Amino acid sequence: MKFISILMGSKSDYEIMKHCVDTFEKFNVKYELIISSAHRSPQRTRNYVKEAEEKGAIVFIAAAGMAAHLAGTITAVTTKPVIGVPMKGGAMDGMDAMLSTVQMPAGMPVGTVALGKNGAINAAYLSMQILAISDAELAIKLKEDRIVQSKKVENDSKDIEVIL
């Protein structure tokens, strides 16, 4: 069974990562969701990643704030794609998490998306695009979703547009 794994550094991240979950549910994509910390439960994190790979995890999404080492910890133990979602908060309001997530050493990539809600949603979309490489049905759903998004922009414009 192929699925996407979501790890969060703490329970407080769920309010934002719920948007990622909602996106997967909208597309009927299987996922797992756990809380595991790079610093407070490093062995749990490593063990979970290995177990998830054995069960069929294709992509890992890591949401963490402040030092935001969760994505790097996951990348250190898997060759599967890892997408980091930096979380707002702390003294730098998420900029520290953004920099920690994006600044990985060569050979240890973490795809990094935006802070907060948009990042959570984009992590879901990016992981589904990876999954859709080998899932034609999901690829079609994603293309249909793009058409819906495009039509929404056109309809929103019609409500207010002024064209001479």
Query: How far apart (Å, rounded) are the C-alpha atoms in residues 164 and 162?
Result: 7
- pLDDT, mean of residues 101-119: 94
pLDDT in tens, 44-96: 999 999 999 999 999 999 999 888 899 999 999 999 999 999 999 888 888 99
- pLDDT, mean of residues 112-116: 95
Question: So what's the pLDDT on residue 37?
Answer: 93
Q: pLDDT above 70 covers what percent of the chain? A: 100
- Residues ≥6 apart with Cβ < 8 Å to 60: 4, 5, 6, 7, 49, 52, 74, 78, 80, 81, 82, 83
13 is in an annotated binding site: yes
Question: So what's the pLDDT on residue 67?
Answer: 83
Question: So what's the pLDDT on residue 48?
Answer: 98
- Could you give the count of Cα atoms lying within 13 Å of 150 in the half-sphere of its Cβ? 6
Domains belonging to the chain, first-starting first, are: 3-135 (3.40.50.1970)
